[in-house]
Amino acid sequence: MHPDSASKRKQTKLISTKPGQRGAGETETETDEPPRHLPISRLPPSPRSPLIPPNILQARLTPLLFEFSRLLSIVPALFGVFYLCYHIYSPPDPTTVVDGSGRRPPERVDFGVAALWALLTGYQCLHLTTGLLARWRVYYPPLATLIRLISLQAICWPATHLTLSLLEHDKRPVIVWAVIGTTTCASRSVQIWVTSNLWWEGTGAKGGPGRSNNWQWLKGGQWGGRRWDWNDVVKKCMLPAGVVYCVMAWAEQLRREWSGC
């Protein structure tokens, strides 16, 4: 065989329309062009990393601002605990009348139970803010995360004050703080659901595709990877509130017994 014909046959094999082979869709001149993506000695920067790295002051100040903003969530409940503990030590005069209806002022047991609700409110607010902070730090830059933390407190503080004012905490402290604590526990359960996709993996769940659509919705499915973890909701939200409700019921019964003696 002539060597020129063999070399021509070898060159024609470089041009092919079959996908997966070298030269597919190329012309004779395209094979001589240099590759567009040349190898480099350094890895490309991550798309989430900032173009300008933060200096030492920013690296140290940002976690402190996050921690300070996170601790702001317990301020309303903390002031409530101090206020209620003061009235436990120095309750109002039982002979005074709160309003024209003849209502007597709250007693020590009322302020004590309300203080338990205030403690639970602060505990749940802190963990709610911590969970949202963990999510925001994944999805947003530091400045946007800090703005969201401050905005969260700008919503929670007035909401707490509005509840205290509308329900008249000086007349019925137990009911007011029970409403605030229960609402906070419900909000914490929503936060658990919102942040569940940070640790959730869609495969390997119990009760796979044979389950109904409701079960798949509860377990997350394809809707953002979120699911209701009822074990966490019961342990972290329902159980603490149930314990305080039990204490509130027993305190009321014991107060009636002591008042009847």
Report if residue 227 sits inside a domain. Answer: yes
User: 178: domain range?
Assistant: 64-92+104-199+214-253
Say how far apart CA 174 and CA 244 lie, in whole Å: 11
Q: What is the pTM of this model?
A: 0.69
Residue 159 has pLDDT above 50, yes or no: yes
Q: What is the CA radius of gyration of the chain?
A: 32
The confidence score (pLDDT) of residue 18 equals 54
Report if residue 204 sits inside a domain. Answer: no
The confidence score (pLDDT) of residue 93 equals 77
Residue 24 has pLDDT above 90, yes or no: no
Q: What is the pLDDT of residues 162-190, one digit of tens each?
A: 999 999 888 899 999 999 999 999 999 99
Report if residue 232 sits inside a domain. Answer: yes
The confidence score (pLDDT) of residue 217 equals 40
Residue 223 has pLDDT above 80, yes or no: no
Count: domains in the chain: 1
Neighbouring CB atoms inside 10 A of 175's CB total 16
CA 241 to chain centre: 19
Identify the sign of the CA torsion 112, 113, 118, 124: positive
In the predicted model, what is the mean pLDDT of residues 107-133?
A: 96
In the predicted model, what is the mean pLDDT of residues 112-118?
A: 97
Report if residue 258 sits inside a domain. Answer: no
Amino acid at 4: D
Report if residue 51 sits inside a domain. Answer: no
Q: What is the pLDDT of residues 38-95, one digit of tens each?
A: 444 444 445 455 544 566 667 778 889 999 999 999 999 999 999 999 999 988 877 7
Average pLDDT over all residues of the chain: 78
Say how far apart CA 164 and CA 180 lie, in whole Å: 9
Report if residue 153 sits inside a domain. Answer: yes
With b for 16 or more beta-carbon neighbours within 10 A and e for fewer, the 22-59 pattern comes to ebeeeeeeeeeeeeeeeeeeeeeeeeeeeeeeeeeeee
The confidence score (pLDDT) of residue 227 equals 87
Residues 76 and 184 sit within 8 Å (Cβ to Cβ): no
Q: Burial-class residue 73 by CB neighbours within 10 Å (0-12, 13-18, 19+).
A: buried
The confidence score (pLDDT) of residue 144 equals 93
Report if residue 68 sits inside a domain. Answer: yes
The confidence score (pLDDT) of residue 226 equals 83
Report if residue 259 sits inside a domain. Answer: no
Choice between 45 and 152, residue whose per-residue pLDDT is larger: 152
